[in-house]
Chains A and B, each alone.
Chain A
Amino acid sequence: MKRNVAIISVGYNGRFVSKRPDINIPELIQPAVANAISKTKLKPEQIDAYVVGNMHTFEGVNQPHLWASDHFGGAGKPVMRIATGGTTGASVFQAAYYHVASGLYDVVMAIGWEKHDEGDAQVGLMGILLPEAFSMFNFGPDMSGERGIAGLGGGGSTGGAAFQAMSYLTKANAGIEHIDRIAALMRSNAAKNPYAHLQQPGCTEADIAKTPIISYPLRYGHTCPTSCGAIALILASEEKAKKFGITDRVAWVKGLGSGSSDAATGNIIEGQITDPAEQYMCKVVAKKVYAMAGIKDPKKEIQVAEVYSGFSHQDLMWPERLGLVDEGKSPEMLDKGAFAIDGELPLNPSGGVTSTNAIGASAMVRVGEAALQVMGLAEGGHQVPRKVENAVAHGWGGLFQFVTVTVLGRTPVKK
C-alpha cells in the first residue's frame, strides 16, 4: 500500500530577475519559504522536515543551506541536501516526496534556488568541462571521447545543445523558423506569468529571428536567461491534507521517476550511437511514471505540460520524448496552435525555462507550475482555461543525460 502525497502550496520569492545585488543567498530563499507558508494555515513549526538544493558551484558557497539554515527554518529540523545539476529542483522535490511517502514525516518543504548574479553561469558550466581541458594542457590535445567535450563546450552548454538542435531538426524535418516560433510563444506566455523573468508581450517569430546566431541553429533568442530566484513547495500526506481541510485544492503526486543515460557529447565526437536528440531515458522514465499514475494514453489524459528546455528547440523535442506528441510531429502541432495556453496541449504556460532560469530552482518551478495548473491557481492569465485533470512536469540536466518526470493530478491514484 502506497502513501498518497500532495503538494499543498507553491511559494515564490517574487519575480525572477537578472540581478539582486541587494540581498544574499539566505535572503533570497527566505521570502519563497514565507510565501509558501502564508498560502496555507500552517505555522512554520508545523513543517516536519526540509529538503533543499541548488548548484553551488555557480555561487562559490559550498552547501549554502548550512549558512542559510536559520533563514529557511531548517535550524532545529531535519534537513537533506540534494543536487543533480539541471534536474536539481525536481530531484529535491522527489526527495521531499519520499520523506512523506516513507511514513517518516507528514509535512515537508522542498526548496530550490539559484542566485546567478553571484557568479557567471557559463563559467560555472565550463566547470563540467575544465578538468578535461586541464588534462589536455598537460598531455597534449586528445579530442577523443569525453575530452572532446572541452572543444564542444566553447559556448558553455550552447555548443552541445547546437548538436542536439540540428539532430532534432533533421529528424522532425523542421527548420530554424520553428525554433523561432516556439521561442516567441514562450516569451509571450511569460508575459502572462507575473513571476517570469523575460516577459515579452506579443513576442513574434520575427522578433526572435532578429537576434544573432550563437551556434547554428541556435540564436540568442533561443537561449535561457540566468535568473535569481527561489521556489518552495509544501508537501503533505493524505491524512494531513484531510486534517487541514484542503483536499479540494491540492495537487496529488500520482507518478514520479528519474534516470540517467550516459554523458552524450563525448559519443558525438567518437561517432558512436548516442544521439543527444534521442533522449531514450526520457521515454523510459515517462513510460514508468505514466504507469504509476494510471495513465494509459498520455496524449489524451494529460492536459498541460511543463518541460525543462534550456534551449528553444527542446520545447519541440521534449513533448515527443514524453509521449505527448507523436515523434517528429511537434512542429506541426506548433503551427496549428496546439501548444498555446488555450490550445490542445498547453506547453509551458509559465513561459518555460527559456524565459526564466534560476538553475537550482528551474526543475522545481516546472513541478510548482504544474501543481498551480492542477489547483487552478496560476496567476496573471497563464491558467489553462480547460479543466486540468493531470499535468506533467519534466526536468533535464547533466550533460544531456539526467531526466526527471512527475505527474500531478486532481485526484490521487486509487490504492
Chain B
Amino acid sequence: MNERVAIVGYKQTKHTFDSPVARERMIYELVKALFAELGITRDDIDTFILASNDFTDGRTISEVFTVPRIGAYMKDETKVESDGLSAALYAYMRILSGLYETALVVGFSMAGSEFRAPLIQSYTLDPVYERPRGIINYYSIAALQANAYMRKYKFTEEDLAQLTVKNLENANNNPYAARKEENPSIDKVLGSKPLYLPIRQAHVSAYADGACAVILSSKKMAKKFTNKPVWIDGVGHFMDTYYIGDRDLLAMEHLSAAAKKAYKMAGIKNPKKEIDLAEIHTNFSSEEPVFAEAMGLFKPGSGKDVVKNGESRIDGALPINPSGGPLGANPINATGLIRLAEASAQLRNEAGKNQVKGAKTAVVHAQDGPGAQLNTVFVVRR
C-alpha cells in the first residue's frame, strides 16, 4: 500500500459561456497541454478517471467518446458519475491500494452553453412527488437555507450582497473565471433579478463550459512530475438524507462529519487556526457562511462579523474562495475538482493576483445533489 499521495499537476480551461469547441476537443486539448507542461506522455499515467454525467452530456454512456480524448485509449480507466472531487477521491483510493502509482482525473461539462443547469438538476429530484410540482428545487432549497440563516443570525441581505461582491472581485482577478462583472457593488447585486428571495440572480453560481484535469501520484513517483507536490493528508465524504424536510439545513451535519473526518486524518485539531484558506463548492453565495461554519472554519452564526471584518477576503484571516469560487465559474462535474486545482495553485504560490500569502494548508470542498446532499472534503498541504 502507498502511504502518501500527492497532487503533482493540475490545469483548468478558461471557462466560458459559449465554448467554441465541443467537449471532446476541450478535454483533449486540456490534457494534452497538461502533459506538455509536465513533459510527460499518457504512458506515465497508470489509471484514468473521468467525472461526467450522461444527463449533463445529453448522451447515454457519453464516455464512449470522452474516454479516448483524455488519453485513456487502450488504458485502464473508469468513470465517476458525480463531481470531479469524488473522482479525485477514487483516484486517491486507487493509489493508496498500491495497485497504481499515478492517476489522471478529468471533470468537465458544457453547463454554460448546452443545457440549463436547473433543468438537469431537477432530474435528480423524486420524479413522483417533487419534480412535477416544482416547489422543491435547488434554488428554493438555497432560499430556505439562506432565510433560516439570516433569521437566526441577523444576517442581512446587504451582508449576503457583500459576500457576493467579494467573490465577484476575486473572480475578476482569476484568469480562468467565466463571469466578469465590472465594478461589482452591493447596489448592483441587490438590484439583480429576484429568483427565490433572498436568492437573486447575482448570488447564483456561473454555470459555465469548462474542464479541469488533476494528476495524482504516489510519494515514490511524485518527483518524476514536480518538485512542488501538494499532499492529500485527509479526506472525508458523507451523504445526507434525501428529503429536505428531514434535514437540518443550518447544521449541515454530514458536511460537518466529512470535514471532521478529513481533519482527524490530517491531524488537524483546530481548523480555524491551522487552515490557511478554503475552496468551497457553493452553488449560491448564501451557502458560503453555512458551509464554512459547518466545516469548523468560523463560529456558528458568525457570518455577519466575518463579512464586516473581511475575514474571508484574500487578505483576511481565513480566505474563503480566493479564486472567486463557483460564482466565477461552475462547470458542473468539474467544479469540485477546480477547487482542488485552485487550492494546489495557492499552496504552490502560483495563484497570481489571488495569491494568499504563505498558504501552507488548505481545505477543499465539493457538493453534489439537492441542497448539497453529498459532501466531499479534502485537506491538502504544501
> What residues on B are CB-neighbors of A98 within 8 Å?
90, 93-94, 97, 99
**Pick from A66, A76, A94: contact of B369, CB under 8 Å:** A66
Instruction: Give the nearest-CB partner of A399 in chain B.
Output: B64
**0/1 interface trace, chain A 382-415, chain B, CB 8 Å (1 if under):** 0000000000000001110110000000000000
List, in ascending order, chain A residues with CB within 8 A of B240's CB: 69, 75-76
Contact status B64-A103, CB under 8 Å: no
Scoring A94, A101, A125, A130 by chain B CB atoms within 10 A of each residue's CB, the highest score goes to: A101
B118 to chain A, nearest CB (A): 12
Among B143-189, those with CB < 8 Å from A are: none
* B96→A62 contact, CB < 8 A: no
B58 near A260 with CB under 8 A, answer no
Which of B63, B68, B237 touches A80 (beta carbons < 8 Å)?
Answer: B237
* A70 and B242 contact, Cβ closer than 8 Å, known pairs A2-B97, A82-B80, A82-B81: yes
Which residue of A is nearest B67, CB measured?
Answer: A260
Q: Nearest A residue to B238 by beta-carbon distance?
A: A78
Cβ of A82: which chain B residues have Cβ within 8 Å of it? Answer: 78-81, 90
Interface residues of B in 91-141 (CB under 8 A from A): 92-94, 96-99, 120-121, 123-128
Instruction: Find out whether the CB atom of B61 lies under 8 angstroms from the CB atom of A103.
Output: no
**How many residues of chain B get a CB closer than 8 Å to chain A's CBs?**
57
Q: Take A62-B53, A63-B82, A63-B124 as given contacts and tell me if A57 and B374 are in contact as well, using a CB distance cutoff of 8 Å.
A: no
Whether A81 pairs with B242 at a CB distance below 8 angstroms is: no
A104 → B minimal CB distance (Å): 6
Contact of B1 among A3, A77, A131 (CB under 8 A): A3
Asked whether B79 lies within 8 Å of A84 as measured between CB atoms, the reply is yes
Q: Which residues of B contact A95 (CB under 8 A)?
A: 78, 80, 90, 93
B201 within 8 A of A: no
A76 close to B68 (CB less than 8 A): no
Residue pair A66, B97 in contact (C-beta under 8 Å) = no
User: Would you list which residues of chain B between 343 and 382 have a CB under 8 Å from chain A?
Assistant: 368-370, 373-374
Docked complex: B66-94 residues within 8 A CB-CB of A: 67-68, 72-82, 86, 89-90, 92-94
Distance, CA A257 to CA B1, complexed state (A):
17
Cα distance A292–B53 in the bound complex, in angstroms: 31
* B227 contacts chain A at the CB level, 8 A cutoff: no
A101-145 interface code vs B (CB 8 A; 1 in, 0 out) = 111100000000000000000001111101100000000000000
**Given known A-B contacts A66-B370, A95-B90, A260-B67, A76 and B238 have beta carbons under 8 A apart:** yes
- Nearest A residue to B239, CB-CB: A79
A238 at the interface (CB under 8 A from B): no
Query: CB distance A259 to B74 under 8 Å?
Result: yes
B54: chain A residues within 8 A (beta carbon)? 55-57, 83, 127
Cβ contacts under 8 Å, A101 to chain B: 1, 93, 96-99
- Determine if B1 and A69 form an interchain contact, defined as CB atoms under 8 angstroms apart: no
B6 shortest CB reach to chain A, Å: 15
A77-B254 Cα distance, complex, nearest whole Å = 8
Flag if B73 contacts A104 (CB, 8 Å).
no
In the complex, the answer to whether A263 meets B65 with C-beta atoms within 8 Å is yes
B94 contacts A102, C-beta separation under 8 Å: yes
**Residues of A with C-beta under 8 A to B121:** 62
In the complex, whether B60 has a CB less than 8 A from a CB of chain A is: yes
B325 → A minimal CB distance (Å)? 22
Contact partner, A61, options B61, B73, B127, Cβ 8 Å: B127
Known: A101-B99, A260-B73. A80 touches B126 (CB 8 A): no
CA distance A263 to B58 in the complex (A): 18
Contact of B61 with A69 in the complex, beta carbons under 8 Å: no
Q: Are B239 and A128 in contact (CB under 8 A)?
A: no
Among A62, A74, A125, A398, point to the contact of B55 (Cβ < 8 A): A62
Give per-residue flags for A1-15: 1 if the beta carbon is below 8 A from chain B beta carbons, else 0.
111000000000000
Q: A83-B54, A124-B60, A128-B60 are in contact. Are A99 and B93 (CB under 8 A)?
A: yes
Contacts of B126 in A (CB 8 A): 67
Interface centre among A2, A74, A257, A259 (most CB of B within 10 A): A259
The interface size of chain A toward B, counting residues with CB under 8 Å, comes to: 66
A284 adjacent to chain B (CB < 8 Å):
yes
Determine if B292 is an interface residue (Cβ-Cβ < 8 Å): no
Q: Which of A53, A75, A128, A131 contacts B242 (CB 8 A)?
A: A75
Q: A2-B98, A398-B61 are in contact. Are A70 and B82 (CB under 8 A)?
A: no
In this assembly, does A338 line the interface, its C-beta being within 8 Å of a C-beta of chain B?
no
Instruction: Evaluate contact between B77 and A258: CB separation under 8 angstroms.
Output: yes
Among B68, B78, B81, the residue within 8 A (CB) of A63 is B81
Question: Would you call the interface of chain A mostly helix, strand, loop, or mixed?
Answer: mixed
- Are the CB atoms of A84 and B63 closer together than 8 Å? yes
Task: Report B46-66 CB contacts with A as 1/0, cut-off 8 Å.
Answer: 000000011100111101110
Residues B124 and A57 in contact, CB atoms below 8 Å apart: no
Residues of A near B128 (CB, < 8 A) are: 24
Which chain B residues lie closer than 8 Å to A284 at the CB level?
Answer: 74
Nearest CB of chain B from residue A101's CB, rounded to whole Å: 4
With A66-B242, A69-B239, A102-B96: A56-B55 Cβ-Cβ less than 8 Å:
yes
Let me know if B230 is at the binding interface, CB within 8 A: no
Which residue of chain A has its CB nearest to the CB of B50? A84
User: In chain A, what residue has the closest Cβ to B82?
Assistant: A81
List which B224-245 residues lie within 8 A (CB) of chain A.
235-243
**A85 in the interface (beta carbon within 8 A):** yes
B236: which A residues are within 8 A, CB to CB? 78
Which of B60, B79, B235 has a CB less than 8 Å from the CB of A127?
Answer: B60
Q: Are B241 and A70 in contact (CB under 8 A)?
A: yes
0/1 string, A90-102, CB within 8 A of B gives 1? 0100110011011
Partner of B64, one of A85, A91, A94: A85
Q: Are A55 and B80 in contact (CB under 8 A)?
A: no
Minimum CB–CB distance for B140 against chain A, Å: 16
- Closest residue of chain B to A84 (Cβ to Cβ) is B79
Counting chain B CB atoms within 10 Å of each CB, the highest count among A67, A69, A74, A127 belongs to A67
Q: Does A278 contact B (CB under 8 A)?
A: no
Tell me whether B81 and A81 are in contact (CB under 8 A). yes
Q: Answer whether A80 and B80 are a contact pair too, CB < 8 Å, given A56-B54, A102-B93.
A: yes
Considering the complex, which residues of chain B in the window 24-44 have a beta carbon less than 8 Å from any beta carbon of chain A? Answer: none
Q: Which residue of B lies closest to A91 (CB)?
A: B78
Q: Is A261 an interface residue (CB 8 A)?
A: yes
Query: Beyond A81-B80, A127-B59, is A75–B239 a contact (Cβ under 8 Å)?
Result: yes
Q: Are B374 and A79 in contact (CB under 8 A)?
A: yes
CB proximity of B262 to chain A, nearest CB, Å: 11
Give me 15 other A-B pairs in contact (C-beta within 8 A), A259-B74, A398-B67 excluded.
Answer: A1-B98, A55-B54, A57-B54, A61-B124, A66-B124, A67-B126, A78-B236, A78-B238, A79-B239, A84-B63, A102-B1, A127-B59, A131-B59, A259-B77, A399-B64
Q: Can you list 22 pairs linking A and B with CB atoms under 8 Å apart? A: A3-B97, A24-B128, A62-B123, A63-B81, A63-B369, A67-B242, A69-B241, A70-B242, A70-B243, A75-B241, A81-B86, A91-B79, A95-B90, A102-B94, A124-B60, A258-B77, A258-B78, A259-B74, A260-B67, A261-B74, A398-B64, A399-B61
Query: Which A-B residue pairs are the 10 nearest by beta carbons?
Result: A127-B60, A62-B123, A85-B61, A101-B97, A102-B96, A102-B93, A75-B241, A83-B81, A79-B239, A66-B369
